[in-house]
Structure 1
Amino acid sequence: MRHVPGFRVIENHYPAGLELPRHFHDYAYLSYVLEGPYSESYGNSASVTCSPRVLRYLPAGLPHANVFDAGSHCLIVEVDRDALKRVNEHSSALDKPGEIQGIGSTWLAQRLYHEFRQGDELALVSLEGILLEMLAEGARHAGSKGPVAVIPRWLRIAREYLEANFLRPLSLAEIAGAAGVHRVHLSREFRRYFSTTVGEFLRRKRIEHACHMVSTTNIALAEIAMTCGFSDQSHFSATFRRQIGLTPARFRQMAQAR
């Protein structure tokens, strides 16, 4: 556990089979799933799946329940009321739960975990800056579309299928078949619920995976490009720069600077 001005950062391991009945927290939470998906439910809403490499926000005082079927490894951030107030003065209020989407939030969460593991005084300065940026991302994304939507079961299956197979070639027909719906219905409802197309979602997942590989390994960029489903390094670099704002080489240099 690390104490940062305005925040408390905790690394938690939840055993397989653990069920946490309805409860709430006195402080707002950011959670980043490092490994092992789990489910979370609010009130009478259907449960949502909290998948690996997904950053979520949970406001203070919101009753919820969790089920960890396979066990999970998470980084949890408890947000002080004053820190939340500072962000809310300049952004939309963070008052609803949800996934904080976007490459930026994923990269920040990965950087947070990297700095969390450093354990030195300089890391504390970096942690505070990263955490404030994460809250700003949350204000832009988590609270902007209202409460977490009740996602149809078939659509959750489609998304989970994408998350499990995003590194290989996929067709709409295959994904729709896995979910048991027509591909036109899949395309329309996927965009409606997730505010992105299936293709854009796949591209984002591949870039997120590439960010992880670029920042934590020394694997050649050409090999990362092939692993992540890009036709060649040039295509990978162009897409990476368009999504992240940096070339893969520069991103690696910055991520591994410490």
Structure 2
Amino acid sequence: MINLEKGQYLGINRPYHSQSALSFIDTAYSEKVFNGWHAHERAHLTLVLNGGNLEKRKSGEQALLAGQVVFYHSQELHRNDHTLFPSRNLNLEIDDTFFSRYDITEEQIARALNSGRLTSLEFTRLFHETVFKSPASSDSLHLLLLSFTQEAGKSTPDWLIRLKDLLHDQWDQWPTLAELAAEFEVHPVTLSKYFHHFFSCTLGAYMRKLKAQHALAMIRSGHYSLSEICHACGFADQSHFIRSFKDATGMLPKKFEKL
């Protein structure tokens, strides 16, 4: 088992300009690296840009592919097998000073990711604000990440978790508020109120977000043209797709494709 210090990842690392407690590191994997158990000194979010692997943790394993974002606690043991070459990750390291300054915990970031408030879209927007906008205020970037990880409450109702899972399974459909309320046996007003409270957006905005997430993954897969992605994800036309993607990530699809 090895322990990796600040800025260290197992591939070839290219640090981007860091913003105080937040640092981006671009890591490429062109050949086999150490695939045993290891941990990182800093908590971090990782967006798979290209390729992928089979990630193993003490709690289980999952296949990671382009477009997925995951969170690692500081000192959390994990290992990566069956890496697809070439692979490339963007890592956002979060220093302990961020957690102490804003009085939040690593677990809150993990919950934000699991709930869908923090996704590959928000990760990409934060990267865009850090790397492509100049000058970038460290305070504004910290608050941007903080806004994605604000807790909406201590616990999410079970029916709302099941609703989120249903929406993710049927992301290419557009269920109405009334249909969902009937499905989960709650009043439409209750559903609308709780949904906005826990996901910080309306049902319609959340469905648009899911379409943009799938578009992001398809862009990074490298297998589809933008017109094919536009059609597959149900956007009215390419201008609608481009506008929606930029609204969600801060970047044009072509620019994100060329990262």
Q: Which runs of 5+ in 2 are unaligned?
A: 1-14, 174-206, 220-225
Change (3 A) 1:82 1:212: same
Change (3 A) 1:36 1:46: same
**Correspondence 1:207 to 2:212:** yes
Once the two structures are superposed, residues 43-71 of structure 1 have per-residue CA deviations (whole angstroms, 9 ceiling, x without a partner) of 2x331122222221111111111125213
The equivalent of 1:137 in structure 2 is: 148
Once the two structures are superposed, residues 84-132 of structure 1 have per-residue CA deviations (whole angstroms, 9 ceiling, x without a partner) of 233444x7844859955637632222233434553x741x43x763454
Identity %: 17
Which aligned pairs between 1:79-94 and structure 2 lie closer than 5 A? 79-89=94-104, 93-94=107-108
RMSD: 4.6
Aligned length: 192
Change (3 A) 1:252 1:66: closer
Contact kept in structure 2, 1:39 and 1:68, CA below 8 Å: yes
**Correspondence 1:8 to 2:23:** yes
Change (3 A) 1:39 1:232: same
More divergent stretch after superposition (16-25 vs 51-60): 16-25
The equivalent of 2:64 in structure 1 is: 50
User: Which residue type is aligned with residue 169 of structure 2?
Assistant: V
**Correspondence 1:36 to 2:31:** no
Q: Give the TM-score of the pair, scaled to structure 1.
A: 0.54
How far apart in 1 are the matches of 2:155 and 2:31?
Answer: 33
Which aligned pairs between 1:145-224 and structure 2 lie closer than 5 A? 194=165, 196-200=167-171, 206-210=211-215, 223=227
The equivalent of 1:152 in structure 2 is: none
Secondary structure at the aligned position of 2:44 is classed as: strand
Contact kept in structure 2, 1:10 and 1:76, CA below 8 Å: yes
Contact kept in structure 2, 1:38 and 1:50, CA below 8 Å: yes
Change (3 A) 1:65 1:25: same
How far apart in 2 are the matches of 1:253 and 1:46?
Answer: 30
Q: Which runs of 5+ in 1 are unaligned?
A: 146-189, 215-220, 241-245
